[in-house]
Amino acid sequence: MITTMEEKPHIPAAPRKRKLPGWAIGVLWMSGAIVLLSVTSYQTGFLQLTSSGTTQTAVRLALPILLAGLGGLWSERAGVVNIGLEGMMVMGTWGAAWAGYHWGPWAALVAAVVFGALGGLLHAIATVSFGVNHIVSGVAINLLGAGLTKYLSTLVFFPVSHNPRQSPPIQPFDTYSAAGFADWLGELEQGQRLIISDVAGILRGLVTGVSPLTMLTILLVPLSYYLLWRTRFGLRLRSVGENPHAADSLGVKVYFHKYVAVIVSGGLAGLGGAALVLNPGQLSYLEGQTGGRGFIGLAAMIFGNWRPGGLLGGAALFGYADGLQLRSGGETVLALVYGVVLLLGVIVVYQLIKRKWFSAAAAIVVAVLLYLLYISLDEIPGEFVSYAPHMVTLAVLAVASQRLRMPAADGLVYRRG
Amino acid sequence: MRRRMRGVAVAAIALTSVMTMAACAKDSGGGSNNSNTGSGAACEFATPPTAPATSNTSSAAGDKVDGSALKVGLAYDIGGRGDASFNDSAAAGLDKALTDMGIKKENTRELSAAPNEDEAAKQTRLRQLASEGFNPIIGVGFAYAESMKLVAAEFPNVKFALVDSAVEGATNVTPLLFAEQEGSYLAGVIAAYQSKKCHVGFVGGVEIPLIQKFEAGYFQGAKAAAPKIQIEKKYITPAGDFTGFQDAPKGQEAAKGQIDKGADVIYQAAGASGKGIFSAAKQGGVLAIGVDSDQYNQATVADTKDVIVSSMLKRVDVAVYDYIRAVAKNDLASLPKVFDLKVNGVGYATSGGKIDAKLQGILEGYKAQIIEGKIKVADKP
């Protein structure tokens, strides 16, 4: 009796207030990741983990994924699932190659946006006006994108390039480097001091050989955030994705906002296609060159919890992991496993302070298993290495999926009442 | 209060173990990373075999063969005629057969595959050719292996040929196989002699047995020429994911990684991804070796052709021509089991003028040794 009296009634904890603004959390995550990579590279001796070359590779590989992900963000925030990103990206590649061949790289960007946006318009007509299931329409657009570009490239490119699958080469963008600054960073990187050299390496990778398209893409992330979260238009657009009926009852033009969102989405995916075509290693349209990057962009967006900052992190993760395995292979990725063990160690400490015994125990078990893996192997087998980014994403999704929240009316067909 | 104390204690213990763990990384990794600073000198070469006095030319004799009665069907892999590579090479063989043997143009049919098409589409294509009376029928590419096994059994009187693969148990399917490893061996020798730092690289498209033949020969050749040579290798995608043959951006990054490690001649066997590898070589100021056709003269990579030292030639045209000729003479037994260096089924290109007479002499020496059987080239790494 006494004991029951002493027990306090369970009061649900008040929702925690955010002490830090979003950008500060982002910066914290970034610096945490850099410190982790730095310690890992220092301990394992794999300097490639934070070298400027790896960073540049990561940026180049992340660019199309980031753009496709931004496209997904716009569309899904307005409640339209866009699995047709891949098809819109393919249309963008064709448009970029066609205009780029005739009028240079800037025209390529414009044409890619226009072609992608046309794909978006089609998706909007099907899903918004005619109420077609979003997945069905998206798959149809993927098929249409592949078929249409095949037809068009046979028609237009074949007489010039004598190859129905490929366009003639196009002009690349000039790239820009922060000359003096980059050299200074290069000296720091060579110094091989803990953290300083790593930060220098990463920064140097970010400021050398930057093309206008890279700058534009990086700017599009805060711009999307500003438009979607800080303007009246953005609030309406998001309200359409959360509860279209309520939005409609308040006088928001639901169809209009959905149309705009999906068309912008297509344009961004098309720009992602242009990023592939204008990559200095490619510089032409090639059938099947997107290789599923539209879908990976979608995954990066889900990874980023339908928010631009998280999406940037997801795209960077894909670009980094893929770049690392392409450049340095299995042994370096194994070093990354060691980094994950360290990260899990930090998580364990955090969970213990929070006194979440079960999570801590689970993290310890995983950490020990990974550490044994790291100790016993010399190199991760190639079959696994190539899918390292996918597995990292799976792991992150498994850990964080409870905290992800998609727009409430995402994927639902809305009929005007 | 006590619970909190305990939590802090456990956390402290965990923290210490993390710290200890942080000091428990392997030491082995560091060695290979001092990339550019390492070996800076050219290779010490093994004594090359001497070139034979007379080089034996192609065994194809000059007697006229009449093939005007033949109806030839060609089923291409993805891309079809005009892909500036594999399929085009097969088409060139057909064209030569047309002019040489008097086959009528209207008696030939060429069909092309679509990307990601299913097995049924390939079967339909072969069945269509066979039921319209085309004989022989040539499937270009190992992608036709499964469908040809089925269709060849349905048409036992039609002669089939399959480039790059064999069909077990089908007597009417002639495999047209190449000794890619022998040509790649010579590519390895070229790489060793062109490298300034005695450090070369190999980028493969997809890690399948066919591409591993290239890798095996290249490694063996480079090591035979310069025993101490350092070789990097990378496949863009593992088996099963065929995007590695058409992802030039990824090919570029793989090659850049090798160049940053110090490799200065890169051999590519990566299909359309090869463009990215040439581009990386150009940006890094190093050299590259092409594959399948004489890529120095290929329009799609014209902007980077000055880095292409040579190309490993895989003469699909020779194989297709010889096969049609053998069918016309009704003498399939005369075909070589494998199109190798001996019958000029594989070889190396000298366009671009980077292979001087001295190196060519060395290459001919190795070539003669392979043909004589004194050097056995492995087809698996």
The residue extents of the domains of chain B are 72-178, 180-314+350-372
Name the least confident of A17-26, A402-411, B342-351.
A17-26
pLDDT for position A275: 95
Q: Does residue A15 surpass a pLDDT of 80?
A: no
Matching fold, domains B72-178 and B180-314+350-372? yes
Percent of chain A with pLDDT over 90: 45
Smallest Cβ distance to A341: which of B21, B84, B241?
B21
CB contact under 8 A, A386 and B14: no
CB B92 within 8 A of CB B110: no
Mean pLDDT across A157-167: 83
Residue A4 pLDDT grade (very low, low, confident, very high; cuts 50, 70, 90): very low
pLDDT for position B32: 38
CB contact under 8 A, A283 and B79: no
CB contact under 8 A, B300 and A335: no
Q: Does residue B40 surpass a pLDDT of 70?
A: no
Mean pLDDT across A51-75: 94
Smallest Cβ distance to A352: which of B14, B114, B257?
B14
Smallest Cβ distance to A60: which of B79, B249, B277?
B249
Q: How far is B185 from A411, CA to CA, in rounded Å?
A: 56
Classify burial at B312, counting beta carbons within 10 Å of its beta carbon; exposed 0-12, middle 13-18, buried 19 or more.
buried
Residue B7 pLDDT grade (very low, low, confident, very high; cuts 50, 70, 90): low
| H or E stretch at B258 | helix B248-261
Q: Does residue A90 surpass a pLDDT of 80?
A: yes
pLDDT for position B38: 44
By C-alpha distance, the chain A residue nearest B237 is A386
User: What is the ipTM score, two decimals?
Assistant: 0.86
Give the DSSP letter of residue A129. I
pLDDT for position A195: 80
Percent of chain B with pLDDT over 70: 84
Residue B306 pLDDT grade (very low, low, confident, very high; cuts 50, 70, 90): very high
CB contact under 8 A, B299 and A286: no
Residue B240 pLDDT grade (very low, low, confident, very high; cuts 50, 70, 90): confident
pLDDT for position A348: 87
Q: Does residue A13 surpass a pLDDT of 60?
A: no
Mean pLDDT across B24-35: 46
Name the least confident of A75-79, B44-48, B206-210.
B44-48
Domain regions of chain A by residue span: 50-175+210-308
CB contact under 8 A, A281 and B275: yes
pLDDT for position B58: 47
Smallest Cβ distance to B115: which of A283, A288, A341?
A288
Q: How far is A385 from A326, CA to CA, in rounded Å?
A: 9
Name the least confident of A3-17, A58-72, A136-150, B221-235.
A3-17
Q: Does residue A390 surpass a pLDDT of 80?
A: no
pLDDT for position B27: 54
Residue B21 pLDDT grade (very low, low, confident, very high; cuts 50, 70, 90): low
CB A84 within 8 A of CB A141: yes
pLDDT for position B196: 93
By C-alpha distance, the chain B residue nearest A351 is B11
pLDDT for position A5: 45
CB B86 within 8 A of CB B316: yes
Q: Which of residues A240 and B13 earns the better pLDDT score? A: A240
Q: Which residue, chain included where needed, has tokens 């079959």?
A: A383
The residue type of A95 is G
β-sheet with B72-78: strand ranges across:
B108-113, B72-78, B137-139, B160-163, B173-178, B338-339
CB contact under 8 A, A352 and B83: no
Q: Does residue A372 surpass a pLDDT of 50?
A: yes
The residue type of A174 is D
pLDDT for position A31: 86
By C-alpha distance, the chain B residue nearest A162 is B82
CB contact under 8 A, B7 and A45: no
Q: Does residue B280 surpass a pLDDT of 60?
A: yes
Question: Which residues does A109 contact at the CB level (< 8 Å), separation at least 6?
Answer: A96, A213, A216, A271, A274, A278
CA distance A150 to chain B (A): 10
Topology of domain B72-178, CATH: Rossmann fold (3.40.50)
CB contact under 8 A, B22 and A383: no
Residue B183 pLDDT grade (very low, low, confident, very high; cuts 50, 70, 90): very high
DSSP H helical ranges for A243-329? 244-249, 254-277, 293-303, 308-328
pLDDT for position B333: 85
Q: Does residue B29 surpass a pLDDT of 80?
A: no
pLDDT for position A378: 80
CB B242 within 8 A of CB B173: no
Q: How far is B262 from B32, CA to CA, in rounded Å?
A: 11
Could you give the angle at the alpha carbon of A117 between the alpha carbons of A113 and A123, nearest 5°? 155
Average pLDDT, chain B: 85
Query: What would the DSSP string read from start to end of B318-329?
Result: HHHHHHHHHHHT
Average pLDDT, chain A: 87
CB contact under 8 A, B243 and A378: no
pLDDT in tens, A298-357: 988 988 889 999 899 889 988 988 888 888 877 788 888 888 888 888 888 888 888 888
pLDDT for position B349: 92
Residue B115 pLDDT grade (very low, low, confident, very high; cuts 50, 70, 90): low
pLDDT for position A350: 86
Cβ atoms within 10 Å of A398's Cβ, excluding its own = 9
pLDDT for position B33: 38
CATH class of B180-314+350-372: alpha beta
Q: How far is A315 from A58, CA to CA, in rounded Å?
A: 9
pLDDT for position B118: 81
Q: Does residue A79 surpass a pLDDT of 90?
A: yes
CB contact under 8 A, B33 and A292: no
CA distance A40 to chain B (A): 8
Question: Which residues does A232 contact at the CB level (< 8 Å), separation at least 6?
Answer: none
Mean pLDDT across B143-172: 90
Residue pairs between chains A and B whose CB atoms are closer than 8 Å: 168
Residue A287 pLDDT grade (very low, low, confident, very high; cuts 50, 70, 90): confident
pLDDT in tens, A204-242: 888 888 899 999 999 999 999 999 999 999 999 999 999
Q: Which of residues A294 and A22 earns the better pLDDT score? A: A294
Q: How far is B165 from B142, CA to CA, in rounded Å?
A: 5
Give the DSSP letter of residue B57. -
Q: How far is B140 from A165, CA to CA, in rounded Å?
A: 17
Taking contacts as CB-CB distances below 8 angstroms, the residues of chain A near B25 are: 40, 43-45, 335, 338
Neighbour-count burial for B159-195, b at 16+ CB within 10 Å, e otherwise: bbbbbbbebeebebbbbbbbbbbbbbbbbbbbbbbbb
Taking contacts as CB-CB distances below 8 angstroms, the residues of chain B near A353 are: 7-8, 11
The pTM score is 0.86
